[in-house]
Homo-oligomer: A and B are copies of this chain.
Amino acid sequence: MQHVKDYIDTHKDRFLNELIALLKIPSISADSTYKGDVLKTAEAVKIQLQNAGCDTVEICQTQGFPIVYGEKIIDKNLPTILVYGHYDVQPPDPLNLWDSAPFEPVIKKTDLHPEGAIFARGACDDKGQMFMHVKAMEFMTQTNQLPCNVKFMIEGEEEVGSSNLGDFVKANRDKLSNDVILISDTGMIAKDIPSITTGLRGLSYVEVEVTGPNRDLHSGLYGGAVANPINVLTKMIASLHDENNHITIPGFYDKVDVLSKEERAEMAKAPFSLEVYQKALDIDAVYGETGYTTNERNSIRPTLDVNGIWGGYTGEGAKTVIASKAYAKISMRLVPNQDWEEITELFKSHFESIAPKGVTVKVIPHHGSQAYVTPIDCIGYRAASKAYETTFDKTPIPQRSGGSIPIVALFERELKSKTILMGFGLDSDAIHSPNEHFGVFNYLKGIETIPYFYKYFTKLSQ
């Protein structure tokens, strides 16, 4: 495979332009206004998979957005790699904080990316990272170097909980059978410090609504005399963490897998600068659960964050009102072996129980997912580690991530194979934030590294 870098050099502009074309379509799964664009993106992915060398590609209907399935089976005695990715993207808001429009991709040079980075919603999460696999496929088939079978499963609902993927997987076990699953939707420590994500947190996402009086009230005539739903909501949310930032929901930590001192010491070896971390975010201090470091807090410990809160008058100027209702969107990141449905139920009962008299409370569960850990002695991990070592000239560091990829635990359960998280993103890519971007270096490095995974995995499987 000595000429993968040559191939990339030759076709680099086209690789960028094809990705940019995909990024232009606002495939926002969370917002029903963009339904047509999401479907259009599925079609575009299908064409790209066909062009990349898949023998068959289908748009598989679901009760929601379709799944694009493509495959090239060269020999049933060879291993099969299943590539998962998603073609939908996060909502771009707040729009006013983007320097360039989220769906008008531009390549800009930055200090960190002197060779340029593509700025657009989805540049990294997940179109850029997903498309690396499509271009790697193209390289392998065009140069007749595909060493094994490959299947692609690219869905359109990851950002809204992949609610239809489970049914699709269960109904298509044979079609999707594989020896390893490959996902690029995570990051590395730095451009010159490769790392492989070995753990994902689970997720429980809920919405709460607190109702006080049956109408908005004048805060002079009624202030002090009735429960103010906003004040009450702040009290209830505030009570969910104690003074050590430990979550107070009864039973919340019961099933948490506590790492040993040795495991924690091993984790602590990964390069990390608290000063750089704080500086990048313009904060004077980090903040979290007492007794844990920053990288433990964001990976091996469960958390609770309010993602959105609203109620009352929020427009220009002043309005002296006691709102009838107050709302919040709350999500919890989970670790092995917390069960997300159980955690959702614990949250719901607890939150309802702490509501004072004078208000009523509604808890509406949204979606959730289980946590996951990849064992580093499995052949998939070893193949990935060798691949990064080949292209970066350094052994990648195994690292637990704070993020969630809802369907990884489901894949293991239904398809009986491990998932290898080969990510090429960076924290600074600002996924889920304004000005999301993906380094040209990272994009091309991924395309270069992935074919080595195929080579080593096939070898180690023999």
Q: How far is the CA of A319 from the CA of B317 in the complex (A)?
A: 28
Residue numbers in B under 8 Å from A298 (CB-CB):
221-225
The answer to the question of A331 belonging to the interface, with a C-beta cut-off of 8 Å to chain B, is yes
Query: A434 contacts which chain B residues (CB < 8 A)?
Result: 215-216
* A285: interface (CB < 8 Å): yes
- A35 close to chain B: CB less than 8 A: no
Given A216-B432, A313-B93, verify A205-B283 contact (CB < 8 Å).
no
Cross-interface CB contact of A219 among B239, B294, B305, cutoff 8 Å: B305
Q: Which residues of B contact A230 (CB under 8 A)?
A: 305-309, 328
User: Do residues A309 and B326 form an inter-chain contact, with CB atoms below 8 A?
Assistant: yes
What per-residue 1/0 map shows which CB atoms of A193-224 lie under 8 Å from chain B? 00000000101010000001111111111111
Which of B97, B317, B331, B358 is the one whose CB lies under 8 Å from A30? Answer: B317
Q: Given contacts A322-B307, A402-B221, is CB(A91)–CB(B215) below 8 Å?
A: no
For A215, list chain B residues within 8 Å (CB): 97, 281, 430, 433-435
Number of interface residues of A (CB under 8 A): 99
Cross-chain contact A284 with B358 (CB below 8 angstroms): yes
Residues of B within 8 A of A357 (CB): 284-285, 287
Please tell me if A370 contacts chain B, counting CB pairs below 8 Å: no
Q: Nearest B residue to A230 by beta-carbon distance? A: B306
Say if the beta carbon of A235 comes within 8 Å of chain B: yes
Q: What residues of B have a CB within 8 angstroms of the CB of A90 in the complex?
A: 319
Closest B residue to A215 using CB positions: B433
Check A36 for interface membership: any CB of B closer than 8 A.
no
| CB pair A322 B310 closer than 8 Å | no
- Contact call A228/B306, Cβ cutoff below 8 A: yes
A318 lies within 8 A of B366 (CB): yes
Closest 4 CB pairs of A and B: A220-B403, A224-B303, A238-B238, A308-B312
Q: How far is the CB of A335 from chain B (nearest CB, A)?
A: 10
- Flag A155-196 by CB within 8 Å of B: 1 or 0 each: 000001100000000000000000000000001000000000
Distance (Å) between the CB of A145 and the closest chain B CB?
Answer: 35
Identical copies in the complex: 2
A218-B403, A221-B431, A286-B358 provided; 15 other pairs, C-beta below 8 A? Answer: A31-B315, A31-B316, A160-B317, A216-B432, A218-B431, A224-B305, A224-B333, A225-B288, A227-B287, A230-B305, A307-B321, A308-B314, A310-B314, A314-B327, A321-B432
Asked if A297 is an interface residue, CB under 8 A from chain B, the answer is yes
**Nearest CB in chain B to that of A240: its residue:** B231
B234 touches A238 (CB 8 A): yes
Does A350 belong to the interface (CB within 8 Å)?
no
Q: Is the CB of B241 within 8 A of A238?
A: no
Task: Let me know if B318 and A313 touch, CB within 8 A.
Answer: no
Q: List 13 A-B contacts (CB under 8 A).
A: A30-B318, A91-B313, A215-B434, A219-B333, A223-B333, A225-B288, A230-B309, A231-B238, A231-B305, A233-B234, A234-B237, A310-B314, A318-B367
Verify if A262 is at the interface (C-beta below 8 Å from B): no
Distance to closest chain B CB from A313 (angstroms) = 4
Q: State whether the Cβ of A226 lies closer than 8 Å to any Cβ in chain B.
A: yes
Please measure, in the bound complex, the distance between the C-alpha atom of A187 and the C-alpha atom of B218, giving whole angstroms.
13
Complex contact B402–A222 (CB within 8 A): yes
* Residue contact A231 to B306, C-beta cutoff 8 Å: yes
- When distances are taken between beta carbons in the complex, the residues of chain B under 8 Å from A286 are 225-227, 358
A356 part of interface (Cβ distance < 8 Å) = yes
For residue A320, CB closer than 8 A to chain B, the reply is yes
Q: Is the CB of A224 within 8 A of B402?
A: yes
A445 in contact (CB, < 8 A): no
Within 8 A of B (CB), among A392-440: 401-404, 427, 430-435
| A 129-162 to B, binary, CB cutoff 8 A, 1 in contact else 0 | 0000000000000000000000000000000110
Q: How far is the CB of A97 from chain B (nearest CB, A)?
A: 7
A120 at the A/B interface (Cβ < 8 Å)?
no
Contact of A238 among B224, B235, B403, B432 (CB under 8 A): B235
A289 within 8 A of B: yes
A223–B321 CB distance below 8 A: no
